[in-house]
Structure 1
């Protein structure tokens, strides 16, 4: 008799097929299945994993049937996940009332949130709604003290400091300095032109700073190279440049595949947010969510790592402005800023991340009490705790107070927000389980018309004659300063590339 497989079983089979060196025949033998069955599951992996990861099916069910109001069902499940991520305790009556509100928004006057419907909905989405009990803490919802006392020691026993990571999102005005009055408090709609969201991730001992993950509004900025892999960080786009659950899952799964090939397992501390889904299929990353009410005080990246990175970035922007003003006394700050494009900012942010020291990161893990308490704390560690900007070089004409103000310009910038009922329903109605996002895809909805628009002022590319003149000037400078063969060879490489470009353009002009 053919074996009946649940969705959870199929997801596990797909994970086993993805492991390095694994073959479908080996997996079929292990599960006592015919190879053709495993082959069919593998061919449908996109749809099956989308179903499983989105939580739109009970993993133990063999067949998936939608209810009479599937958009309401899916939107309600998304809403419940967001509320639970915030630590809310919701009983059945509250969930059913929300279902009625969603149905009313769709004009479904005959929708009934009956006990029978609720039972079927819970089974379909594998949801358990327990009664609220006054004063009694929900299982798994630990306080910060309980988490540090009961859960953290087990994690530290299982993973070394090099294998424990934290990731956090931050909003960033790429050209913002210290004009607080002009910096907008983002609430939605049209945001400042130069705002992005940056995902920052590093391990406990600071030995591994993951490449920054930037989310902008422009799908394909004009100043970017054709191959985004040439960028010093990872870049995707979304409406309002916000992080979304889909983008985060793809970032997470891409990293998980890399760890799988390295045969390495790690633990990742995350804030309990709706954009950090808890049901993601991972093989080499163990997710540990920080207590909802203590995220701001425990999240290591938020204890000074992000602030330190922003300090280095603002310092680099200010230095570039100062240099340009020194070269042209008639220029002003706004004129100089217009010459800085998104690609320049991307490189400066990546450089700023490289400037963050491992000691700063490890100190912030200690400040968030995500390590075993130590008896002896060094004076320099205390300095890291008290002032994350203490090792950031101050630009000319900028004092410490100015730098602090510049770093704080975007401290309240949103990186995500809860979806409205309209957005929940629109996303649910547009949901296609068979559609999956690739790790390097960009993410836009139908309302986004910014195909290849760049919100930065466009700087015209230099002409070939300007490039040759600049190269000759740099070569002469390197000779006078004795910068060495390495710099000199690099300039020759650039000139060789330019010569090939000129030859190619001449050939094309003759066609």
Structure 2
């Protein structure tokens, strides 16, 4: 029966039902969606079937009688695809199909009572084409494999980059690099689960929450731009008092353009003016889908002095300055701040580590820790990161001594709290942030997003119902006044 509404996504169908439940009239809903009231009425009659449908996020068409495990495979696959695209990785049809088969095998294996030969899922060409139709996924290369680091392309680009810098007369203060990274903001080293009080930390899941951060700084290292954060949930409850545009939470391209116009452009312009530098800047970044080609067109007129330059595919590990120990050092500093917060809470209050982790550590606390860790990245670290691409801009060092003992500090803090942790554990944690998500981690991520979305829908339905009741109360109160005016 869903074919009747092929122009509606599953999300829109549920949205219509929720608005009607909140007191909105059928005619008003029809007007808002540009449909006949009879169509809206038919949707409302199918309320139970629509609400029972659990389509993958991003799917715009609903197909009847599909196996539940296949629906789950596609949900997890779309999350995995988004993570790969955010990282700028090359994703081919063959890679996607292999990942789908691996997800299917893992999910079948986890089903209780499964015995005998496992169900075969071929992830055929036809399935892939139908998935593209249902979900609208794009930027997928049909043939070829993901390439490793392209050394010749990196060498050619380095020459091109230096020529642009020389021709345009850029100085290190005017050249910037930005890059995205994933962060498990609620993850500790594996062996920290053993404490004096308990053998595990209740409430801590291997995959609790993951967010995406975008960092940016100039080549001289004396200007760090406010980071961009993309959280997987559309409206986390911890942000209830903060203004969030939920429609943009998943649109990374739009968020990136907003960040350039609202944060990057403003900060760079003020910095150049304060330092009596010519009003021109170069922003270097990789070719991830979130970083749109032709970005200059979307810049506000006052930021027309900003030029964009893209790194060639498969050269970021070799050339991207942020990938040259800047992001890795940030994650070490974040882990240190996490341990410091845990230590302060357990040492200065009656709250136990278990209670802090379960009831008091939320995304708002995480934001404060991100700010502290980013502020902790030194100018020297940011400047040295350009050595592979622009060696002449790296200032000579006054000392050969190690810049930081962050890892040792983390180990010391952990042991003070009775946590078993070594330097190897910390380094392993930093590397884990960039590992591909496992099937179980994708399942946990999907569950977190679904839980947050359900809470949001419940809150919005309550607010709409209260608003409708308030309007009716006002209408009832004003009717006598209208009658009196008419009488006179």
TM-score of the pair, normalised by structure 1 = 0.46
Q: Which has the higher helix share?
A: 2
TM-score of the pair, normalised by structure 2 = 0.48
